[in-house]
A and B are shown apart, each in its own frame.
Chain A
């Protein structure tokens, strides 16, 4: 087995999700990695820590914008030249587009939304709102797999410095057409929700932007970070950097507390792999209760202040 893992980077750091997939790949056999961008060579060494034997690096200013198609060109050549039979990705807006482009380029099967992979190449994919766990396979190589974010923890394997090899940068015409003309990156304040063990998230059910203090105070008591649904971010109640869901961040904390969140699919995909989910919502029929470990049908404005007080008391005792 020879597996290649796509390493995504942002702000000069390798993304935890792709390091998690690398950790998993290294546990199944020999794993190499591919890193594509501008000024990324220095990041290659860290991949060795997570199990990469070799890191293919395409470091070129033309690859600096995080766009998928140029990455398809680079990775397709690495896969062909290196004879890789498996290529794995941690899901993200960028990685999903690369994986699908690569599938078409190589006529290779892509299974997505995977949460696990066995050593004999059976992928595990929850389907139909996670009511079914489907075993999926590949009929040919290379096999492409896109994992749900948060599927695997990134864990150092004790590996040494990887061999770093330069990957060729030969871009197709259609891959050079798109350019990024402006970027508005939002920096999170407070603890990063991707790294937090506890997340308290608020939705429309909080009623008003100022009621996010309920979420903030409970998060402080539990030592966690604050998240938000797309509905409230779109409404301007809370910054985009806190948005959890399909078009925001994907998180898998030990504890997820959902306040006034209905649990629409857009939100669910971003938090469903949390270990324990507690939901408080007035609507007894809210979908969030279908995937909560503890569901409380009630008013967040009454319950949350009391809950925060009790948690603080417990900490104090």
Chain B
């Protein structure tokens, strides 16, 4: 079985938005989106000792290679990075087009995503990619099993669990409750340097420059502002008077 895992390179620590471009500042250090580590781990688990292949796919700046190398160090077999200035600033519509183009080259049986991007809080990309590839999609997977050409997913929802089955090829977004991602071993880190690493341009994905980046995006950031203040956030010590202080606070807010 061939499994492709889509991963994102996200800025480390507290992000900042560049006031000029109104885009997330990606110039600093970055790391593998930690929700995507769950997807890499699940792919490695599903592959097990079998003779399948796990390929990690990303779209981003050249530095995104660091995150792909981490996935390789965890045990993925091969990496593909779509890196093209014309793809910078892509929104959902544009990103899904580019990723679908990169994934179409792979013809994977199963495509995995993590449950959200920790930088932009996006938690929808898989469904757009699935639509472009015309493949079934299941999200919020708390368990994934593959039998023959069927994937069975336990989907966690607001109301409980659904057990969903679909035929392969399919796309699944895993919840971060699904597993504990492994840490790369030293051997894994050393080995990652020798694994196949392919860098693609937009043209390689078959997407026109007009359909990617800002040009291909249908949404835009207009302005940055301060969120409404939460009021006067107060922090107090939990000493003997703490319970009374809480009651006084609730009384002041007319909540008791």
Residues of A within 8 A of B (CB): 10-11, 65-69, 72, 92-94, 96-105, 107-113, 122, 126-140, 146, 172-175, 177-186, 198, 222, 230, 234, 240-241, 246-250, 254-255, 265-266, 269, 276-278, 280, 282, 284, 289-299, 302-304, 306-307, 309-311, 314-315
Please determine whether A177 and B255 come into contact, CB atoms closer than 8 angstroms: no
Residues of B within 8 A of A (CB): 14-17, 22, 91-93, 96, 115-116, 118, 120-132, 134-140, 152, 155-167, 170, 175-177, 217-228, 230-239, 242-247, 249-251, 253, 255-256
Please determine whether B222 and A297 come into contact, CB atoms closer than 8 angstroms: no
**Least distance between A24 CB and chain B CB atoms (Å):** 17
- The answer, among A178, A304, A307, for a CB contact under 8 Å with B138, is A178
**Least distance between A96 CB and chain B CB atoms (Å):** 5
- The answer, among A68, A107, A181, A293, for a CB contact under 8 Å with B233, is A293
**In the complex, what distance in Å separates the CA atom of A233 from the CA atom of B243?**
27
30 interchain pairs, CB-CB under 8 A: A10-B158, A67-B164, A68-B137, A69-B131, A69-B137, A93-B157, A96-B124, A99-B124, A101-B130, A102-B131, A103-B92, A128-B14, A128-B16, A131-B14, A134-B22, A136-B220, A139-B220, A177-B136, A181-B163, A181-B164, A183-B162, A246-B115, A247-B175, A250-B158, A269-B121, A278-B246, A291-B233, A293-B233, A294-B235, A296-B237
User: Which residues does chain A contribute within 8 Å of B164, judged by CB atoms?
Assistant: 67, 178-181
Please determine whether B224 and A296 come into contact, CB atoms closer than 8 angstroms: no
**Least distance between B243 CB and chain A CB atoms (Å):** 4
Q: SS class of chain B's interface: helix, strand, loop or mixed?
A: mixed
Q: SS class of chain A's interface: helix, strand, loop or mixed?
A: mixed
From B246, which residue of chain A is reached at the shortest CB distance? A307
- The answer, among A68, A182, A255, A304, for a CB contact under 8 Å with B255, is A255
User: Which residues does chain A contribute within 8 Å of B167, judged by CB atoms?
Assistant: 177
**Least distance between B140 CB and chain A CB atoms (Å):** 5
**Least distance between A316 CB and chain B CB atoms (Å):** 12
From A266, which residue of chain B is reached at the shortest CB distance? B176
Please determine whether A297 and B236 come into contact, CB atoms closer than 8 angstroms: yes
Please determine whether A314 and B217 come into contact, CB atoms closer than 8 angstroms: no
Please determine whether A183 and B255 come into contact, CB atoms closer than 8 angstroms: no
**In the complex, what distance in Å separates the CA atom of A170 from the CA atom of B255?**
51
Please determine whether B250 and A255 come into contact, CB atoms closer than 8 angstroms: yes
User: Which residues does chain A contribute within 8 Å of B219, judged by CB atoms?
Assistant: 109-111, 136-139
Given A103-B93, A107-B218, CB of A299 within 8 Å of CB of B162: no
**In the complex, what distance in Å separates the CA atom of A69 from the CA atom of B58?**
25
**In the complex, what distance in Å separates the CA atom of A140 from the CA atom of B218?**
6
Please determine whether B93 and A109 come into contact, CB atoms closer than 8 angstroms: yes
**Given A103-B128, A135-B224; 14 other pairs, CB 8 A cutoff:** A93-B139, A93-B157, A110-B124, A138-B218, A172-B134, A178-B165, A184-B163, A247-B140, A249-B158, A280-B238, A292-B233, A293-B230, A294-B233, A294-B236
- The answer, among A105, A128, A130, A180, for a CB contact under 8 Å with B17, is A128
**In the complex, what distance in Å separates the CA atom of A68 from the CA atom of B231?**
39
User: Which residues does chain A contribute within 8 Å of B92, judged by CB atoms?
Assistant: 100, 103-104, 109-110
User: Which residues does chain B contribute within 8 Å of A136, judged by CB atoms?
Assistant: 219-222
User: Which residues does chain A contribute within 8 Å of B250, judged by CB atoms?
Assistant: 255, 278, 311
**Least distance between B61 CB and chain A CB atoms (Å):** 19
